[in-house]
Chains A and B, each alone.
Chain A
Amino acid sequence: MPRLEDHCWSCSCASSVETKHSSGAHWLASKAEEMMSIITSVLSNAYGSLHDVRTANLIRRGLVLFTVGAFLALVLNLLQIQRNVTLFPEEVMTTLFSSAWWIPPCCGTGAAVVGLLYPCLDKHLGEPHKFKREWASVMRCIAVFVGINHASVKLDFDNNVQLSLTLAALSLGLWWTFDRSRSGFGLGITTAVLATVFTQLLVYNGVYQYTSPDFLYVRSWLPCIFFSGGVTVGNIGRQLAMGGVEKPHMD
């Protein structure tokens, strides 16, 4: 029982936010992404006439990533509040569809930014990512990511430290299994830090709350979720970027 309450958000609004821990991360990322999108739009305008194909490709990838991010946000949101469904079905549904409407778009945007950043970074670093570049692996990665979220919600831990440590290990395992690139690790860490800070700000400003914050204003496992989310989205983004390159070849 106590754990149950532990997991409940203090307010309905918070529940929606909590549901998307990663969504929060993406949220933050999304803000950054907005800027990024402005920059990219400027850049793309600049290069647009020269690189029509590339721009179209970029937009396409961005759209796909946005969709994926938004969808994952929605689903994981549900996953996070699932426990409360039995207790407050009405409330959950209303919060899900009214107050939390901004979560999926934010997460989607964040996902798009991170997903586009990964291949871009790869290119600039000159280390094309070759490890397990196939859709099956990407799917596996997503499944593991969802699993981590699932675990963060459903597992019964004695204390928060243990939970956070477990999740951290899982996230690192995810990175090691599917990524193994320094750039991926760095970007994932950056994403996690930025997103966590952003979430802290949000909570501090009272946008939503965590029921039992143990890391300043948020849960201590939030960075892990953000990190694994970043790695996952980056994985998708890289695959998309590669698919874009490969397709012409195939044709």
Chain B
Amino acid sequence: MTLRERLREKISAAFYRHGLLCASYPVPIILFTSASILTCCYPLLRLPLPGTGPVEFTTGGRDYSVPSHEPQGDLGERPDWQVLVKAAVSPWDSSLVPVDVFRSPLSRAFSLLEEIRNHVHSDGSGVRSLESLCLQVTDLFPGLRRMQSVLPEHGCLLVSPGNYWQNQQELFDSDPDLLKTIQKHEPKGLSTSATLRDLLFGVPGKYTGVSHYNRKRVVTYTITIVLSTYDASLRSRLKQLHPSANCSLRDDHMVHVHFKEEIGIAELIPLVTTYIILFAYIYFSTRKIDMVKSKWGLALAAVVTVLSSLLMSVGLCTLFGLTPTLNGGEIFPYLVVVIGLENVLVLTKSVVSTPVDLEVKLRIAQGLSNESWSIMKNMATELCIILIGYFTLVPAIQEFCLFAVVGLVSDFFLQMFFFTTVLSIDIRRMELADLNRRLPAEAGLPPPKPGPLRPREAPPPPRPSPHTITLQTPAFRNLRLPKRLRVVYFLARTRLAQRIIMVGTVIWIGILVYTDPAGIRTYLAAQVSEQSPLGDPGGGALPPHLGGAPVFRGVDPTSTLSIHPAPDPTPLPDNHSQGHHDGAGRAGPLPQPPPPAVPQITWGPEDQEGWRRLSFRHWPSLFSYYNITLAKRYISILPVIPVTVSADLQTDLTLYKVAALGLAAGVLLVLLLFCLYRVLCPRNYGQNGVSHGRRRRGELPCDDYGYSPPVSEISPLLLRGHSMDIECLASDGMLLASCCLAGQIRVWDAQTGDCLTVIPRQGDGLSEEDGFPLRRRSAPSRPTLFTDQPDLTPLIDTNFASQPPSHLCTPPPSHLCTPPRDGFDFGGLRRPSGGDASASLTPERGSAAGTQATADWESSVWALELRGNLIAAGRSSGKLELWDAVEGSLRCVNEDGGSGITALAFLNNRIVAARLNGSLDFFTVEINKPLGLLQYRGAPGRGTMPPSPCYSSEDVISCQLTRSVQCAHQKPITVLRAAAGRVVTGSQDHTVRIYRLEDSVVHPKKTMVLASGGQDGAICLWDVLTGSRVSHVYGHRGDVTSLVCTTSCVISSGLDDLICIWDRSTGIKLYSIQQEAGCGASLGVISESLLVTGGQGCVSFWDLNFGDLLQTVYLGQSSDGQGVRQLLVLDNAAIICDFGSELSLVYVPSVLEKLD
């Protein structure tokens, strides 16, 4: 049991690692797999097509007779062809001008042709010319005009290399370049079956020796004559004319090849049925593939997997010498059924059912390892069954089992490599874009911790601040990039130049090999054919004569051939193979060490069976040129009559020189290209260093292509000045106010990043304070525990005013305006302690403040709001201060409340302040000034909010508490938002309250939607008018820390570092983005489709429509430690974020254009 468990664990771990590997390097793996498939399928090229393979019979050669066990009827009706094969071999010596080498052997063909033509057959019935014996052919098949000049028409079918020259010696003699003439007729491109050259020479091209590089120094060709009646006299005469020396040929048997008939319909019906069943099986199987990006793509991949594993198995078996005797077409469906698609489906299902949020790699790995045990078990079972089948000792079953075993193994291989990789690609494609379809189900997950409802708000609204930015462009989808940059990135990303050069080099080398300067190919081919039992049935008898000078062994002079009794009266197919030897006995002594090896020509079995090396389509294609079908007919191949020709030869070494030179040139060229490439593309494309650096800096998970584009020129503007961490940010679009832990308020120009005002001025804080008119505060001061959360207001306002379904994003009741951000984030977790802390702090500070006139500066600013040129600052002491933003003077102080102000909101001329004790105060700002002076500035919140008044410095501004709601909430108010005449508060007491400030006209049909997020990870949508809950979804495992709304969706981020995008009207989760841990919770929406999130020292831009990461902008060099806690989006599409003691102002230029 333990062993089993351990085994299981190991298997699962191995699969896990394998899944990671596959998902990490999809492209190389797919390439590798394709290469293996092709390699394994290569032997298939030599196989006959299923069902049409010719059948051979061998009979004794003395007499022509028809194989007895075949239906006689066929033969009787159709006299078959005789084929007379002549082989001419001419060895030559080392030195020759290559082209002329062939001249003399080839010229012998013409004399041979003459002999054959002039042969007169005489028997008892009289004298007959060859014409009466041979097969008369008529026109070529229409459409073969190209071959008209080469192939014979209207006469005997007599084929020889002489056909190239119309069988005329004169043409041959006057031909300056024989090879060129031969090559001229070669088809362009690859051809697998019989080419014209094969037909005419009668031996496969590489055996002819007619090429530039001939190491065997033997030229072989055949003259083929097709006879319709067997005639022994021609044969005997040729034998006499060309007594063969060195001949070991056995000429006593001839081979009859029977070509099967075409398959009839009746025979096809069962076959078709099995295929129909097979397709139904495949259909029903692949139909189960679900929840993937492209069902069709995966189904195709599955089918490809199975089919190629079959092909591979057949190919492999062929390679190892197992020829399939079963009818391939028939057993094929059964093989598919045995191999099955089950594993593939199980894999898909398992991977798909892994958590969507995981990274793709992990999903694949997990899915694989989940199913590893069952896959291995099934595989082992199947193998066992098949092995049992193997021992039935029935040849057919054994063969089937053999194929099935190899098929199973190769199928397993393909599943693991090919299909898994395809699946990973598919899942990756789906990951972001298509999640929406399946997410509703997930939305209902119960929250991990049912905590109090606690909404957080995201900072969407505009605020200015000054700063610096590094823009980094991720490779994914450069929507916002200029086109030319995109092109460059594309080139860089795909490493196009590199690949083109590589491909070019490979092709070039391939061409080199193909043209074969050194004869490697011939050598290899010879080796292979020598060793492969398939290649030549002549068997191992092939002597090792290939390497050096050809010394053929074999010494049976066969004279028996000539004695041929006249055959049966029936027209019989006769096969004469006449071998013609050209023995070039003497080699001219060379200038170099005279090679004593005199090439001798011998004839061995391999020559006799030379026709076997021809394509199996050789004969059918030859006859098909004349529109003659071989179906159900015989071809009898008569023994070869060897003829040897000797030739005088000279050597030339130039060949080898040329070859060496070519090789050297190739190497040089490659080196040159490589150098050129390095020079032109010095960049390391971020494969190593850059990508690591990038990862280190917190790259987002979906960027796993390892490519990092160059840093773009856009850099964030850093606004420096604060000495401590920035606590509060506020902006109205033109100005930006920030407050740091030290209590210093700075006002910045949101456009330029200049610091306009510092309150208090540094160094003279106290003296300044003395000058302030109102200095006494009764309330004690407190440390800045809370920041205001200004952001949402403008956005909310916008929505209310402009859209019928308007919406409030409110941070629901869970926190107080956040104390240091941590406190904010984790408020839900440790709310009580946070409360205690702040409470305990209060008294201390209070006492201190009471004694000092400058109590202001002692208490910290908890909330900051900016409207017009008024800064409202809520202090921990409970004081509300109004400052002039431009001049930096204190305009008004109200100390009515005793509890620290945790949140502030401007609403026209009112200020709403939420206090730590849960009370809500409404102040009215009154300006004692003629109305004329009341100016309005451009509205901050995207122009949708009523313009806020601008106060001039002369005005006397008073701030009066008009109303106070003492127990608005039982617990500290964490969030305050104002919009459309309403104020929404959220508190830790799990409630959201809405106060109506004014009687704004709300159209009855209008809806106002309020979104809130709680500590339990729930997000609620409320109808503000009725108070009813529209929807309630759970999206996060921890607290919801931020919420932003656009017109169509609600975006939330939580403590689980997940950003969820919800459809606003239906409450369905569209998709979610997993960020790195510690990315922070700040969110902002720049436009309808552009989302900004803060991360560790960077901000990221996302395309909301697709969920793609557009850019990541790094805020500074030393950005590692600091997270962005607050993020404001300004009108001008700038983003302000706090960054330690600095502020960063990031312009998003392309978005700017869009907004305009």
- Interface on A for B, CB 8 Å cutoff? 1, 71, 74-76, 78-79, 82, 85-87, 89, 92-93, 96, 134-136, 138-140, 142-144, 146-147, 150-151, 154-158, 162, 166, 173
Contacts and interface: CB of A to CB of B under 8 A. Distances in A.
Contact of B284 (A136, A146, A166, A173): A136
A144 B71 CA distance: 34
Given A146-B273, A155-B396, A162-B392, A85 B280 contact: no
B348 to A, nearest CB: 13
B334 interface: yes
B764 to A, nearest CB: 80
Nearest to A162: B394
Given A82-B266, A134-B288, A147-B334, A139 B281 contact: yes
Given A85-B264, A86-B71, A150-B330, A140 B340 contact: yes
Q: Which of B69, B281, B285 has the most CB of A within 10 A?
A: B281
A140 B337 CA distance: 6
A79 B266 CA distance: 9
B377 to A, nearest CB: 14
Question: Which 6 A-B pairs give the minimum distances between C-beta atoms?
Answer: A139-B281, A136-B284, A135-B284, A79-B270, A136-B285, A143-B337
Q: Which of A78, A143, A146, A150 has the most CB of B within 10 A?
A: A143
B269 A146 contact: no
Contact of A92 (B266, B288, B330): B266
Contact of B277 (A82, A86, A89, A139): A139
Contacts of B277: 139, 142-143, 146
Given A75-B269, A85-B264, A143-B278, A150 B394 contact: no
Interface of B: 69, 71, 264, 266-267, 269-270, 273-274, 277-278, 280-281, 284-285, 287-288, 330, 333-334, 337, 340-341, 345, 385, 392, 394-397
A173 B264 contact: no
21 contacts: A1-B69, A75-B269, A75-B270, A78-B266, A78-B270, A82-B266, A82-B267, A86-B71, A93-B266, A96-B266, A136-B287, A139-B281, A143-B281, A144-B337, A146-B273, A150-B270, A150-B330, A155-B394, A157-B394, A166-B392, A166-B397
Contacts of A157: 394
A158 B395 CA distance: 10
B264 A156 contact: no
Nearest to A137: B284
A154 B396 contact: yes
Q: Which of B270, B330, B394 has the most CB of A within 10 A?
A: B270
A140 B270 contact: no
Contacts of B266: 78, 82, 85, 89, 92-93, 96
Interface SS majority for chain A: helix
B270 A143 contact: no
A3 to B, nearest CB: 12
Given A86-B71, A140-B281, A157-B394, A146 B288 contact: no
B378 to A, nearest CB: 11
A217 B278 CA distance: 35
A89 B264 contact: yes
Given A1-B69, A156-B394, A78 B284 contact: no
A143 B333 contact: yes
A93 B385 CA distance: 38
A241 B662 CA distance: 74
B1104 to A, nearest CB: 35
Contacts of B288: 134, 136
A74 B273 CA distance: 10
B388 to A, nearest CB: 8
Nearest to A149: B270
A93 B280 CA distance: 28
Contacts of A135: 280, 284
A156 B71 contact: no
Contacts of B396: 154-156
A134 B334 contact: no
Contacts of A76: 270
A139 B394 contact: no
A10 B280 CA distance: 36
Contacts of A86: 71
A150 B274 CA distance: 10
B383 to A, nearest CB: 14
B407 to A, nearest CB: 15
Nearest to A148: B334
A60 B740 CA distance: 80
A166 B274 CA distance: 21
Contacts of A173: 385
Nearest to B281: A139
Contacts of A82: 266-267, 270
Given A139-B285, A147-B274, 10 more contacts: A76-B270, A85-B267, A139-B284, A143-B274, A143-B333, A144-B334, A147-B334, A150-B334, A157-B394, A158-B394
